[in-house]
């Protein structure tokens, strides 16, 4: 997603599914799995014996996974601080 282009973003989206108090086992599992896949893609992308086309594939996968994780984290932060103020 192009972060500078907000045409495809609903600025009034319902973020209640990203708001909770206390622990959230599902969120923890999602982030844990995302981190594991990010680490695996990073490991494959940086292997010295990796062929260029494979390295390129894993770099793309790494970038995509990091973007998704960052977006989820931003939604969670926005849902828990809807006013946008720094607390």
Per-residue confidence (pLDDT) for residue 74, from 0 to 100 = 92
CA proximity to 61, closest of 76, 77, 46: 46
Per-residue confidence (pLDDT) for residue 13, from 0 to 100 = 77
Domain range list for the chain: 22-77
- For the whole model, what pTM was predicted? 0.74
Residue numbers in the chain where pLDDT is lower than 70: 1-12, 82, 84-87
The Cβ-side half-sphere exposure at 60, using a 13 Å CA radius, reads 6
User: d(Cα 84, Cα 87) in Å, to the nearest integer?
Assistant: 9
Count CB-CB contacts under 10 A for residue 56.
Answer: 12
């Amino acid at each position: 997603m192009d972060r500078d282009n907000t045409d495809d973003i609903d600025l009034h989206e319902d973020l209640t599914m990203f708001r909770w108090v206390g622990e959230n086992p599902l969120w923890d599992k999602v982030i844990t799995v995302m981190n594991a896949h990010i680490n695996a893609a990073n490991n494959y992308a940086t292997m010295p014996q990796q062929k260029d086309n494979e390295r390129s594939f894993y770099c793309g996968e790494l970038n995509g996974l990091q973007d998704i994780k960052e977006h989820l984290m931003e939604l969670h932060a926005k849902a828990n601080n809807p006013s946008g103020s720094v607390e």
